[in-house]
Chains A and B, each alone.
Chain A
Amino acid sequence: MFPELNSILNSTPDSFKSSDFILVSDRRADASFLIHHHLSFYLRAGCKVCFLGLVQSFSHYSAVSQRLGVSLAQAREKGQLVFFEGLKNSIGVILQEDTSQETQPLSYLRTPGAGLEGLFRFVERSVRQSGDGYAGESWGPPVLLIDDLSVLLSLGVSVGAILDFTLYCQAAVCSELQGNVVILVRCEEEDADDDEEGSNLLQRGLVHQCNLALHVEGLPTGYCRDIHGQMEVWWRQGEETIYNQRKIFHFKVHDKGASFFARGTSSAVL
């Protein structure tokens, strides 16, 4: 959890907006540090977290979260965290060695055209489980984290099917259960030829669905060692605000966190 990002987004583990749909996207940069932030944030807040880890293994997130002060292994044991190992389980599905019921969430690997219903059923089951945690603890509102959604495009799933899936997730998690959803989408360059079925289309579709969008890009002036990129925060108008708000920050990622600062105020520059 990054304290500076908390103050930018005006949220703390003790008080944060519920029914929030947050879109994290990047273009030629890596926004996965924001996913690590949200994972440790919601675990600290005591929420029930369902994490779809489609591109990295559990030990990767575990190692990073350790540095941020949260133990994923413990959270998983207590039942607070449900972690879906996309990479590991895919091998068995593709090699057709494992055709048990447990691989239903990965049905998109066998038949990409069929859609993501299996995956949605898994998400639904995980977020609705409550009260059966460690020593009968009940957790806070459920949170769904997905890292990252655009890899499904590489596996042959269509943009329409993915958008359907996110709509169902939003209805189940945000509207019904007053929980939050955080999704990472990695985009191509703007002028990529094949945009009909591309990640740019997916990102545009999700921007319309979300309440908060965090977009990470490299600096427009080029590579810099001290400033790793810029992050654009876009708040959709809500009850308190009458117009959308947009702000840009620079950031630098280090070993135990990330620091954010207003443009032009990096310590390397001042």
Chain B
Amino acid sequence: MAAPVRGMAGSISIGNTTSFQKKTRSKLVSIPGTRPSVQNGQLLVSSGYNSLEEDRYDSYSRMLLKYFLAEGVVCGHELFLASARDHPDQIIEGQSQPSDPENPDTMKIAWRYQNQPKVQIALASSVRFGHYYDVSKTMEPELRQAAKCHSFYQLQETPVTTGSRSRNVMRLREHGHKGKNSKVRNVLRLGLHSLGSVLWGDDVCCKDNPAHCHALTTFLYILRGLLRTSLSVAMVTVPSHLIQNRAVMGRIIRLSDTAIALESFKGSEKETNPLYKDYHGLLHVRQLPRLNCLSCEVPDTKDLAFKLKRKQFTIERLHLPPDLSETVSRVSKTELAAGCGTTATGNKHLDF
């Protein structure tokens, strides 16, 4: 199942938000599912270009990856999915059904307030771009089969050393992309799941000083080169909780254009923190792309959180839940007075 994401202002590359994509200066070419950016004339694709997802507990990045691929199916792009853990077909089959965006509830009692501008909690993009998805339904098979999908399942390949693993993936990727020379130009969406985990044959997650970290970063470098010279977009997910070496993480982030970290509250002490009770996790924007331009659209704030409801996956600005309790402030004042010790019996309002 994939997840619909409300659009976000600027170039943060999740879901149906605009994002930068490096392409040739092709103003005349119109490819379905792309749109020229107003800022710098690049073609945009709904969802990241070489965007890197760092997922602390690896639950939500898979969902975003599925969303990315689902968007590709709906737009008619070609897909390429490489995975080491789950079979790629499982991921592709689990994509969600596109749906119409839900209508905002019409107010019945306080209908005069309906026309008031809403508080900007949900980050809205100025232009609707992309599709909404219903997480609870899976995509119809006809729609899915209409898209050309290539997959690469690590466990099915013959055992190879790490260096040639990169080459195998790249060769497959090149094959999948000979189509760029054909008359109909189409975008290729690449999904690489859980790169850097042990199943790919790397020891980046096992040791502090891995011997294979150069293989991973070299692979990302070459992938970057391939993306720059073709009409492709790649989304790579990395299980950062497994990678101990922070320097490697830093290098991986710098080799990508957009980097987003998902920090899920599951299993951490933040789950019970009342500040975060409305959300399932935090979203950190580590890097924004600056392709073909000096500066990118800068978001208002970088405090973002996400939550997964039954039908939707939304990303919002982090805001505190309303403080409805009346006893909260009094409790803290008495605690303060007790803490001062000597003046516990004095007039509370004059204590300092």
Contact = CB atoms under 8 A, between A and B. Distances in A.
B53 to A, nearest CB: 19
Interface stretch (B67-75, B101-109, B288-296, B321-329): B288-296
Contacts of B294: 33, 36, 64, 67, 253-258
Contacts of B300: 225
B290 to A, nearest CB: 6
A87 B22 CA distance: 13
A146 B247 CA distance: 22
A112 interface: yes
A241 interface: no
Interface in B239-273: 245-248, 250-251, 254-255
Contacts of B171: 95
B62 interface: no
Interface stretch (B119-127, B194-202, B221-229, B337-345): B221-229
Interface stretch (A121-129, A135-143, A150-158): A150-158
Interface residues of A, number: 44
Nearest to A27: B250
A29 to B, nearest CB: 10
B25 interface: yes
A55 B272 CA distance: 43
A63 B247 contact: no
B222 A91 contact: yes
A219 interface: no
B298 interface: yes
A88 B72 CA distance: 26
Contact of A156 (B25, B218, B255, B299): B218
Interface in A51-79: 55-57, 59-60, 63-64, 67
A258 B228 CA distance: 26
Interface in A192-232: 192-195, 198-199, 223, 225, 228
Nearest to A32: B290
Contacts of A132: none
Contact of B228 (A30, A87, A199, A255): A87
Nearest to A152: B221
A94 interface: yes
Contacts of A256: 294
A90 interface: yes
A189 B225 contact: no
Contact of B247 (A88, A109, A192, A258): A192
Contacts of A192: 246-247, 250
A186 interface: yes
B22 A194 contact: no
Contacts of B348: none
B22 A60 contact: yes
B3 to A, nearest CB: 26
A88 B25 CA distance: 17
Contacts of B39: 255
Nearest to B295: A253
Nearest to A90: B225
Contacts of A193: 208, 245-247
Given A154-B251, A155-B214, A225-B298, A194 B245 contact: yes
A10 B43 CA distance: 39
A186 B254 contact: yes
B24 A194 contact: no
A192 B245 CA distance: 8
Interface string B130-160: 0000000000000000000000000000000
6 contacts: A91-B225, A91-B229, A192-B246, A193-B245, A228-B295, A254-B294
Given A32-B290, A63-B40, A193-B245, 10 more contacts: A30-B287, A57-B22, A59-B24, A88-B225, A95-B171, A150-B254, A154-B220, A188-B246, A188-B250, A193-B208
Interface of B: 22, 24-25, 39-40, 166-167, 170-171, 174, 208-209, 214, 217-218, 220-222, 224-226, 228-229, 245-248, 250-251, 254-255, 287, 290-295, 298-302
Which 6 pairs of residues, A with B, have the shortest CB-CB distance? A154-B217, A87-B225, A156-B214, A63-B292, A253-B295, A194-B247
